[in-house]
Amino acid sequence: MSTPRSSSTSSPPQIPQSLTLAPARTASTSSSSSASGMRDAAEDDFDSPPSQMSEDDPGGGVGDRWEPDLRGGNGGARWAPPDQVLENVLESVLEFLTAARDRNAASLVCRSWYRAEAQTRRELFIGNCYAVSPRRAVERFSRVRAVVLKGKPRFADFSLVPYGWGAYVSPWLAALGPAYPRLERISLKRMTVTDEDLALIAKSFPLFKELSLVCCDGFSTLGLAVVAERCRHLRVLDLIEDYLEDEEDEMVDWISKFPESNTSLESLLFDCVTVPFNFHALEALVARSPALRQLRVNHHVSVEQLRRLMARAPQLTHLGTGAFRSEAGPDGALSVSDLATSFAASRSLTCLSGFREVNSEYLPAIYPVCAKLTSLNFSFASLTSEELKPVIRNCVNLRTFWVLDTVGDEGLRAVAETCSDLRELRVFPLDATEDSEGSVSDVGLQAISEGCPKLESILYFCQRMTNAAVVAMSKNCPDLVVFRLCIMGRHRPDRITGEPMDDGFGAIVMNCKKLTRLSVSGLLTDKAFAYIGKYGKLIKTLSVAFAGNSDMSLQYVFEGCTKLQKLEVRDSPFGDKGLLSGLDYFYNMRFLWMNSCRLTMRGCREVAQQMQNLVVEVIKDHSDDEGESETVDKLYLYRSLEGPRNDAPPFVNIL
C-alpha cells in the first residue's frame, strides 16, 4: 500500500478498495447524467498506433519509431520513444474502460498501466475520506473532473456517531482546488461542510457544474447563496437529507442569488432545507430554467404555490411536492380538480415525492399522472391504507415505492396486486421505538413476494415476522440483490412458532444468488450466521442488529463471506474472540463498525498491534467521560494508507 517507487523492479502499488472509479455516465436529459464523459477533447493527446510496439524496446537509437504528426506539426512527422507510443495507445484504450473493478485491475498490471490508468481517470470515488490523504489522491490522478467523497460511518444516520466526530471536507477542498481547476462535479455524503467550504468551491472551480450534498451538516443558507451566485455554470444543486444550521432570523435569501439570465439548471432539490425561502424568486428561477427536469421543494410550499411552479415547468420529470396542503387565500382553497388539471398538464412526470404535511383530500389530484409514474415516495406521509389504496391502484408501472408502515398489510396487498413490475420497496416506521406496535407484518411481506416477482431490493421495518414469509420471499423473488429486514423489537422470534428466524434468513442467502447486501435482526442463533457464511458468497455489506448468540457467528461470517466489504453490528453479544477471528480478513474489508457489544480495550488493542495498516478507533458514548474504560462503547476499524488521522476529537481514542 505504498506509492510507486522509482525502481523498475518494484511491483505495482496496492490500491485500497475505497479508492475506485465510479462508472462513466452516458449523456441524457436527466440531471443525474449531465456530466457525461468528464472528458476534454483538448487533452486527448494521443497519436495513431504504430504497427509494432513493445514496452521492452530500448529508448533512443534504433529503438525509436517514426510517427506521423496528425496534428499538423512542422515537418509533418516527429520521433517518439516506443514507451511513449505504447502509453499513448494504452491511454486511448483505457478511456473506454468504465467499470470500477476493471479500472482497478488494469492499474495493477504493471507500472506503465498504473500510470496510464491514472492519466485517464476522470471520476474519483473515495469511499472513506480517511482511507487516503488528499495529497496522495491528487498526485496520482491529474485529470479528474468529478469527485465523490464519503465521510462518517453509515450508523451516523441513526445518531450513533457522536456530533463532532470528524469527516471535514476542508482538507480535501484545499488540495482539490490547485490540482483540479477544471473540476465540474463534487458529491459529498455524510461530510461536515461549512459555509467557507462552499465559498471555496465557488472560488476554486470556474467551470463547476454539479454539487450534491447527502446527509451532510455544518453549512447554512449563507453558503448556498455563495454557490448560487458565483457558480455561473451550475446545472445540479442537490441537497438530500442534510442538516442546515440556520436560525430563521439569520437565514439568507439564497434562491434570489441565481443568475438573472437564463440558467443551466437541470436539478434543484432542497426539500431538506427547513427554513422559509423567497417563493417569488423560486418561481422566477424555474421560469428561466428551460432545462430543469428535477425539482423538490420544502414543506413551506402549499398546493397553490406548487400549481404555479408546475405551470412554469411542464417539462419536469421529477417533482417533490412540498407540504401538499392548502394555504387558503382571499379566494379560498385550491380545488382538487384545478390541481388535477395541473398534474394532467405535466406529461413528463415519472417520479413523485414530497407530501410532507399531506392533506389526503388532495391525493386524487395526482391520479392523472399515476399511470406514468415509475417512482413514488410517500415516506414522509402518514397515510392509512384506505387513503393510499386508491392511489396505488392507479400506479400500474411503478418500479420504486417508498412508504411509511401506516400503509398496513392491506395497503401492501394493493401494491402486490397492482405493481407487478416493482423492483424496489422501502417500508419505513412511523414510530421507530422498540415497543411500538407497527402496522405491517409477515402478511404484507408475503403478499409482496407473491405479487412482485421482479423485486430486486427491499427494506422492511416491522415488529412481527415469520420464517414462512421470509422463505416465501426467497423463492418468489430470486433476483433480490438487497434484502434488509429490520425487526425492531429485540430478539423477536417467529410470531407463530416462537422459533428463531434462522431458517428464514438461511433461505434468503441460499435462494437469492445475486444477494450483495443483507440486514438481519430478530431472534437469531449461530445457525443463521453459519448459513450466511456458507451461502452468502457475494455479500459485500452485512448489517446485524440484536442478533447472534456467540462469537462463532462472527467467525462464520469472516470465514465464509469472502467478498465482505462492510460489516455493521449493534447490540449483539459478540466479544473479543469474535473480533479477533477476523484478523485474517480485515485487510480485505473497507470497515467494521461495532457498538453496544461485549468488546474490551484489550481485544481492540490486540487488533491494533497485529494490524499495523488498520486504524482502530474506540469511540466513547459521551464526550465528557473522563479516563479510559475497559469496556468499549463503539469500535470503528478501517483501512488507511495514511495511518491515524490528526483531527480526532477527545472522545475518540485511536489505538
Phi/psi of residue 289, nearest 5 degrees: -125, 75
Ordered alpha helix ranges (H), 480-551: 502-511, 526-535
- Stated as kind and residue range, the H or E segment containing 483 is strand 482-487
Low-confidence residues of the chain, pLDDT below 70?
1-87, 248-249, 622-628
| Cell 420504486, located at residue | 400
| Cell 443558507, located at residue | 221
Residues paired with residue 637 on neighbouring β-strands, in sequence order: 592, 616
Residue type, 511: N
Residues paired with residue 544 on neighbouring β-strands, in sequence order: 520, 569
- Stated as kind and residue range, the H or E segment containing 459 is strand 457-462
pLDDT score for 376 = 98
pLDDT score for 83 = 62
- Mapping DSSP onto H, E and C, the string for 127-185 reads CCCCCCCHHHHHHHCCCCCEEEEECCCHHHHHCCCCCCCCCECHHHHHHHHHHCCCCCE
Nearest to 227 by CA among 187, 246, 255: 255
Q: From residue 119, how far is each of 44, 67, 112, 115, 129 by CA, in Å?
A: 10, 22, 11, 6, 22
625 with 599: CB under 8 angstroms?
A: no
| Cell 440483490, located at residue | 481
β-pairing, 210-214 vs 185-189, is parallel
pLDDT score for 173 = 97
Q: DSSP string covering 241-277, please?
A: S-B----TTT----GGGS-SS-----EEE-TT--S--
| Cell 457464511, located at residue | 533
Give the three-state DSSP class for 27: coil
Q: What single DSSP character describes residue 22?
A: P
> What counts of helices (H) and strands (E) characterise the chain?
20, 24
299 with 326: CB under 8 angstroms?
A: no
pLDDT score for 90 = 79
The set of cell numbers assigned to 145 is 473532473
485 HSE (CA, 13 A, CB side) = 32
Nearest to 443 by CA among 420, 404, 480, 415: 415
Q: Taken in order 630, 636, 638, 640, is the CA torsion positive or negative?
A: negative
80 with 53: CB under 8 angstroms?
A: no
Ordered alpha helix ranges (H), 393-428: 408-418
Separation of alpha carbons 435 and 380, rounded Å: 21
Query: Which residues does 321 contact at the CB level (< 8 Å), separation at least 6?
Result: 297, 301, 303, 306, 352, 353, 354, 355
